[in-house]
Amino acid sequence: MKTIDFNRSDFYSFKKKILFRDFSLKYKKMIIKQKNIINSEIEDISSLDYIRNNSIVFINKNFMFKNLKKNNVQIVTNSDEVYNYHNSNVTLVNDLNALFNYTSNELFLHDDHIEYYDEFENINNSQISKFAEIEDSVSIGKNCFIGKGVKIGKNSIIKNNVVIKSSIIGENSIIGDNTTIGSTGFGFDFKNRGATNLHPHLGIVLIGENVRIGSNCTIDRGKLDFTIIDENCMLDNLIHIAHNVKISKNCCIAAQSGISGSVKIGKNVTIGGQVGLAGHIEIGDNVIIAAKSGVTKNVADNSTIAGFPAMDIRKWKYNIINERKNRYK
Amino acid sequence: MKTIDFNRSDFYSFKKKILFRDFSLKYKKMIIKQKNIINSEIEDISSLDYIRNNSIVFINKNFMFKNLKKNNVQIVTNSDEVYNYHNSNVTLVNDLNALFNYTSNELFLHDDHIEYYDEFENINNSQISKFAEIEDSVSIGKNCFIGKGVKIGKNSIIKNNVVIKSSIIGENSIIGDNTTIGSTGFGFDFKNRGATNLHPHLGIVLIGENVRIGSNCTIDRGKLDFTIIDENCMLDNLIHIAHNVKISKNCCIAAQSGISGSVKIGKNVTIGGQVGLAGHIEIGDNVIIAAKSGVTKNVADNSTIAGFPAMDIRKWKYNIINERKNRYK
Amino acid sequence: MKTIDFNRSDFYSFKKKILFRDFSLKYKKMIIKQKNIINSEIEDISSLDYIRNNSIVFINKNFMFKNLKKNNVQIVTNSDEVYNYHNSNVTLVNDLNALFNYTSNELFLHDDHIEYYDEFENINNSQISKFAEIEDSVSIGKNCFIGKGVKIGKNSIIKNNVVIKSSIIGENSIIGDNTTIGSTGFGFDFKNRGATNLHPHLGIVLIGENVRIGSNCTIDRGKLDFTIIDENCMLDNLIHIAHNVKISKNCCIAAQSGISGSVKIGKNVTIGGQVGLAGHIEIGDNVIIAAKSGVTKNVADNSTIAGFPAMDIRKWKYNIINERKNRYK
């Protein structure tokens, strides 16, 4: 799936541009030092994957030292290494997470803000945002919520009691009853817990063509960019897909499985029921993951794995047979 | 529970009868050969469990060689053995799954069709099909969806934001909030993935008397016949019951367990939380399955099992104690 | 969180006071013997944790022999030991569970009764009980159900298609889409199965300030008192919290985990995804529970555990490495 250069303000009300100078005055207690900050107004936040013009990018130590000057980007970091590497447009801070939260909340309203605003029409007892773009041929069931900026492609079917926000859905896709798509990801830092300290999520969910999502699933949106479920994927019921996950085309996931944040899954992957994938791992193409597996690390293309921690399925079976032989008589 | 000879068109709009001759012309590219096809019009699809008159039955190699002539049934198979066994009314094809899908979609409209049609009344902000039969004494909460053909017996309670379609529910049963009953089963073949290639599901859910389903559960309907939850069963929250599952009376299932397709469960079975059952297995009467078990094969009456793959609970405990003794010091 | 002396009739319609003498006549077949029963009318049921005046308390053998006289309480027990210990206000019965059910159902109407009554206003297509107390600043989404007696504190956000009943929610909390809060707990006895034999649940859910509950979660209410989620807790999606669970402040629970009935969880506990906790156990402060663990017994403060049955994580890792070394080559 080609990711789309989406317009954040289609989904989240833009509050106002901020001169970075004013911003750094406001949060000066959190700033250790900075050099040659940009003069212009800040109007967005970028991830390193999708650099937007006139934005702030928040960088921790995993940064790969991109040249960000051409985009008029201000770097905010908690890493001395990153700070020293750049000779302009860089600010060193202590608490990167907190400053990310403040910045996001100053630039955009989102649905964890009480002031978040949208306008609705009641169509067949579903609440459809006036700012959603839904093809005429789409079928929407009863008691649904379709929020601001949502786009739904031709001939897709949204069943009943479905909640969709901050999402773009392709053609010929089916979303099952009581499913939630585009909800806030579960991002936080352990120091500052609670609802008001959660990371704002200003990204979206991208669902490709011919995708089938079952009933009572939850698919969280990306933090700044995308959660992706690519074309021809089939998801069963009660599945959890966390923020920033990318699932490539032709994948099949059985009921009650959960994919943690930022996992990347290749093409033609088949995942059994009640499987869990740890965060930030990569699963290759054509992988098969047996039911109830717990996958804790990257998996190579064409592997078949099972167990927890998941291992090659032949090894898993061997271990089980061995255990049966040598133990209990 | 005595299964009911339900009328498929109560739930799925019947499109039109098809002369089998016309049908086989239309799909002639998929047909290898056939002999003495029936003259009459086809008006339904049968499983081998419930043969309907004037229907097509799709048979793969597991067929038990029933005599189907008396019902005026046309056999469509991908098995040479089945083909050769019958001397009339039999068609040999390559891609049985695809032809099943085409046939189902030509005969009936269902809720994975954009054209699927139903008519509703708004009662207390719940959408109730005009073609549902709900006893006067039934209590239905807010924001529910009750679809075409649904029947609900006396004194049953449907809580709030519940979606029910293609289901028959007995007396004195309780369905919890945000639960989905009668959704499409997760049936497909691995070759042709994606929403438009899913197997149509034209069966129903049968729920007996005095059954309790918790909150945010999903119960998929049968493919051609029934998903059954028999009388006095009690299900906790966030449980998944797949298509064609049969649960006998007096079973108790704790939260977040999942039962895969076509599983049969005996009477008085108790299943702990977060248990998974693999597809097509049979669980005997009075079985107890400990929490978090993964059951991969048939289980005899009166067994108590645990672990993954699930085994006799005494063996499971012995293994754990042994592991503790001999390993980590 | 300081638990609140809540007024049961705010949530459950009080039917009528019963003279205990009349009550014991009505159920005399279930009564073995009694001595010096109270003269006054019964108007509530107590747990041993929160004794209410003019109530019945149902006691099995785990009773700690409190002096209950000052509250004008009638003890009903199935334990000879308890019966003999008290010289007045005590009734010995055979089937304590059944009598608990009868009593609850005679005193109060609740949402498993077909006659349960509430009155609603339609606000933005959400159904809000006229007997709910919701601060003006609260944001409530679409297609929600907010039942009788529910209180929601300032600046809290209830998203869409949420069901809340029998709950008190603090300030600045966020409840995710399609979540169910305050549903009936899964309490029953194995002898008498089925919807009509479930234990009535007449308690509530208490959610503190700054709590975040994700999407499609289920939080069951207490049986007589509270299910508690204390301030600053953060819950991800598809989580199940059973009746009578107490979660202390600053806990963090990842997706698809389930906490069984009456579990107590200390402060600052972090629980990974797809974890299960067995009923009635206690987890200490600052505990970390790795993803997919199955916790079967009490856990001391500051432990880090993993596996099923969960053990010290170092032991768990040692066992896994050992298994890899000694088995499959």
Q: What is the mean pLDDT of chain A?
A: 93
- Note whether A169 and A156 are within 8 A (CB): yes
- Note whether A212 and A233 are within 8 A (CB): yes
- CATH classification number, C11-109, choose in 1.10.3210, 3.40.50, 3.40.1390, 1.20.120: 3.40.1390
Burial class of residue B2, CB neighbours in 10 A (0-12, 13-18, 19+): exposed
Q: Is the pLDDT of residue B85 over 50?
A: yes
Q: Which amino acids of A are annotated catalytic? A: 243
Q: What is the mean pLDDT of residues B175-185?
A: 98
Q: What is the mean pLDDT of residues B54-62?
A: 87
Most distant CA pair in chain A, distance: 77
Please report residues of B whose CB lies closer than 8 A to that of C132. Answer: none
Q: Is the pLDDT of residue C3 over 70?
A: no
Q: What is the mean pLDDT of residues C278-297?
A: 98
Q: Is the pLDDT of residue B329 over 50?
A: no
DSSP letters, B241-266, are: E-TT-EE-TT-EE-TT-EE-TT-EE-
Q: Return the amino acid letter for B4.
A: I
Question: How far apart (Å, rounded) are the C-alpha atoms in residues A101 and A194?
Answer: 13
The answer to which of A286-300, B4-18, B51-65, C222-236 has the lowest mean pLDDT is B51-65
- Note whether B295 and B310 are within 8 A (CB): yes
Question: How far apart (Å, rounded) are the C-alpha atoms in residues B284 and B291?
Answer: 18
Q: Which two tokens stand for residue B196?
A: 């438009």
Q: Return the amino acid letter for C315.
A: K
Question: How far apart (Å, rounded) are the C-alpha atoms in residues C251 and C233?
Answer: 5
Greater pLDDT, B328 or A258: A258
Q: What is the mean pLDDT of residues C201-220?
A: 98
Question: How far apart (Å, rounded) are the C-alpha atoms in residues C45 and B83?
Answer: 69
Q: Which amino acids of B are annotated catalytic? A: 243
Q: What is the mean pLDDT of residues C86-93?
A: 92
Q: Is the pLDDT of residue C328 over 60?
A: no
Question: How far apart (Å, rounded) are the C-alpha atoms in residues A133 and B92?
Answer: 46
A269: Cβ contacts below 8 Å, ≥ 6 apart: A247, A248, A251, A252, A283, A284, A285, A286, A287, A288, A289
Q: Which two tokens stand for residue A138?
A: 């789409």
Question: Which residue bears the tokens 């700033």?
Answer: A31
Cis ω before C200 (30° cut-off from 0): no
Q: Return the amino acid letter for A314.
A: R
Question: How far apart (Å, rounded) are the C-alpha atoms in residues B309 and C8?
Answer: 46
Please report residues of B whose CB lies closer than 8 A to that of A255. Answer: 186, 218, 240, 242, 258, 260
In this complex, the residue of B232, B292, B328 whose CB is nearest that of residue C318 is B328
Q: Is the pLDDT of residue A109 over 80?
A: yes
Question: How far apart (Å, rounded) are the C-alpha atoms in residues C11 and C9?
Answer: 5
Question: How far apart (Å, rounded) are the C-alpha atoms in residues B53 and B67?
Answer: 13
Q: Return the amino acid letter for A53.
A: N
The pLDDT confidence band at residue A190, using thresholds 50, 70 and 90, is confident
* Cβ–Cβ contact A286 with B under 8 A: no
Q: How many CB atoms lie within 10 A of CB B195?
A: 25
Q: Which of residues 51-80 of C touch A (CB under 8 A)?
A: none
In this complex, the residue of A137, A236, A328 whose CB is nearest that of residue B186 is A236
Nearest to B277 by CA among B326, B239, B231: B239
Distances (CA, A) of A34 to A28, A74, A83, C129, C187: 10, 10, 8, 54, 60
Expressed in percent and rounded to 5, the helix, strand and coil fractions of chain B are 15, 30, 55
| Bridge partner list, C259 | C241, C277
- Note whether A248 and A210 are within 8 A (CB): no
Q: A194 and C328 in contact by Cβ < 8 A?
A: no
Q: How many CB atoms lie within 10 A of CB B111?
A: 27
Q: What is the mean pLDDT of residues A26-53?
A: 92
**Three-state secondary structure call for residue C97:** helix
Nearest to B169 by CA among B4, B55, B18: B4
Q: What is the mean pLDDT of residues A59-86?
A: 81
Instruction: Please report, rounded to a whole number, the percentage of residues in chain A having pLDDT higher than 70.
Output: 95
Distances (CA, A) of A234 to B5, B227, C26: 32, 21, 57
Nearest to A231 by CA among A252, A211, A212: A211
In this complex, the residue of B178, B231, B274 whose CB is nearest that of residue C180 is B178
Q: B186 and A234 in contact by Cβ < 8 A?
A: yes
Q: Which of residues 170-189 of A touch C (CB under 8 A)?
A: 178-180, 183-184, 186, 188
- Specify the CATH superfamily of domain A120-317: Hexapeptide repeat proteins (2.160.10.10)
Q: What is the mean pLDDT of chain B?
A: 93
Question: How far apart (Å, rounded) are the C-alpha atoms in residues A38 and A35?
Answer: 9
Q: Which two tokens stand for residue A10?
A: 């289609």
b/e sequence C109-124, b meaning 16+ C-beta within 10 Å: bbbbbeebebebeeee
Class of B12-109 in CATH: alpha beta
Cβ contacts below 8 Å, chain B against chain C, sum to 150
Q: What is the mean pLDDT of residues B25-52?
A: 92
pLDDT at C61: 74
Cis ω before B309 (30° cut-off from 0): yes
Instruction: Please report, rounded to a whole number, the percentage of residues in chain B having pLDDT higher than 70.
Output: 95
- How long a stretch of residues is chain C? 329
pLDDT at C86: 87
ipTM: 0.96
- Note whether A145 and A125 are within 8 A (CB): no
Sequence-separated contacts (24+) of B281-286 with Cβ below 8 Å:
B285/B248
pLDDT at B190: 85
Q: Is the pLDDT of residue C309 over 60?
A: yes
Question: How far apart (Å, rounded) are the C-alpha atoms in residues C179 and B107?
Answer: 37
The per-residue pLDDT for range C259-278, each reduced to its tens digit, is 999 999 999 999 999 999 99
DSSP letters, A215-240, are: SS-EEEPPSSSEEEE-TT-EE-SS-E
φ and ψ at residue A35, rounded to 5 degrees: -135, 135
Instruction: Please report, rounded to a whole number, the percentage of residues in chain C having pLDDT higher than 70.
Output: 95
Question: How far apart (Å, rounded) are the C-alpha atoms in residues C140 and C161?
Answer: 10
| Whole-number CA gyration radius for chain B | 22
pLDDT at A306: 97
Q: Is the pLDDT of residue B98 over 80?
A: yes
Question: Which residue bears the tokens 């985009």?
Answer: A71
| CATH code for residues C121-317 | 2.160.10.10
The pLDDT confidence band at residue C49, using thresholds 50, 70 and 90, is confident
Cα dihedral across residues C104, C105, C109, C111: positive or negative: positive
Q: Return the amino acid letter for C236.
A: D
The per-residue pLDDT for range B99-121, each reduced to its tens digit, is 999 999 999 999 999 999 999 99
* Cβ–Cβ contact C196 with B under 8 A: yes
φ and ψ at residue B281, rounded to 5 degrees: -95, 165
* Cβ–Cβ contact B322 with A under 8 A: yes
DSSP letters, B294-323, are: EE-S-B-TT-EEETTTTEEHHHHHHHHHHH
Please report residues of C whose CB lies closer than 8 A to that of A274. Answer: 274
Q: Which two tokens stand for residue A79?
A: 């890493």
Q: Return the amino acid letter for A252.
A: C
Distances (CA, A) of B151 to A71, A97, C112: 62, 53, 20
Please report residues of C whose CB lies closer than 8 A to that of A220. Answer: 215, 237
Greater pLDDT, B125 or A320: B125
Whether this prediction's pTM lies above 0.90 is answered by: yes
Question: How far apart (Å, rounded) are the C-alpha atoms in residues A121 and A88?
Answer: 48
Cβ contacts below 8 Å, chain A against chain C, sum to 149
| CATH code for residues A8-109 | 3.40.1390
- How long a stretch of residues is chain A? 329
Cα dihedral across residues A229, C142, C200, C1: positive or negative: positive
Question: How far apart (Å, rounded) are the C-alpha atoms in residues C167 and C294?
Answer: 29
pLDDT at B48: 86
- How many helices, marked H, and strands, marked E, lie in chain B? 4, 37
Nearest to A187 by CA among A229, A126, A242, A240: A242
Question: How far apart (Å, rounded) are the C-alpha atoms in residues B180 and A142?
Answer: 13
Compare all CA atoms of chain A with the CA of B118 and give the residue at the minimum distance: A141
In this complex, the residue of C173, C236, C273 whose CB is nearest that of residue A195 is C173
Please report residues of A whose CB lies closer than 8 A to that of B111. Answer: 157, 159
Question: How far apart (Å, rounded) are the C-alpha atoms in residues B72 and B59?
Answer: 16
The per-residue pLDDT for range A136-177, each reduced to its tens digit, is 999 999 999 999 999 999 999 999 999 999 999 999 999 999
Q: What is the mean pLDDT of residues C211-219?
A: 98
Distances (CA, A) of C159 to A158, B160, C163, C213: 19, 15, 10, 10
Helix H or strand E segment including A145? strand A145-146
Q: What is the mean pLDDT of residues A248-262?
A: 98
Q: Where are the domains of chain A?
A: 8-109, 120-317
pLDDT at C329: 47
Question: How far apart (Å, rounded) are the C-alpha atoms in residues B111 and C25?
Answer: 55
Question: How far apart (Å, rounded) are the C-alpha atoms in residues C75 and C208?
Answer: 33
